[in-house]
Structure 1
């Protein structure tokens, strides 16, 4: 996963090393909590190795922090369990520092009404 130059220059080594693959995966899924993803898509979007993502997802599933159905993965809807997980807090804090806090209602006001074509079920592709 790449970082911007400003983050590189102004972050300590501990801050830069603080996000494991598991933390990055849970941060990505939490930031995209309205969707479920295949492991390959999580790997592509987080710029992590697909094997590392699969291992992270399995660990998160064992901790009941993600849900798995078919080949799709999503963040848990159990907010208390998620809040108790330290990696989620670290990921959220780092992403907020780098990108600013999310204005969820503002984002939703500008979100399209229809899902992206990649999120639609294409049964015609069989």
Structure 2
């Protein structure tokens, strides 16, 4: 008995409309269908060689970073020493007058008191 509604078989390559309605996009492969090639795995000797190369490269990188850090520290220390020497030389070159009479201090106004330094 033929039915009025027949199941239509679709060809293999044709699918319905995609959910995003982007008909130009191809559906991606499922992760289970991707099979790794057996020759992709490297040998144990090769892995040891690569590991040694990576270790040597990391050590070299670490040495370079340490060298740069030391140079920066030396430069910073030299600048700080220079700044300190400059301050000391300025203090040496100043003309200083000692105030021995404490009554003079009491007579000074606020502006003059600000300019006085205690050493």
Q: Greater RCO between the two (CA within 8 Å, min separation 6)?
A: 1
TM-score with structure 1 length normalisation?
0.15
Higher Rg of the two aligned structures: 2
Higher strand share: 1
TM-score with structure 2 length normalisation?
0.16
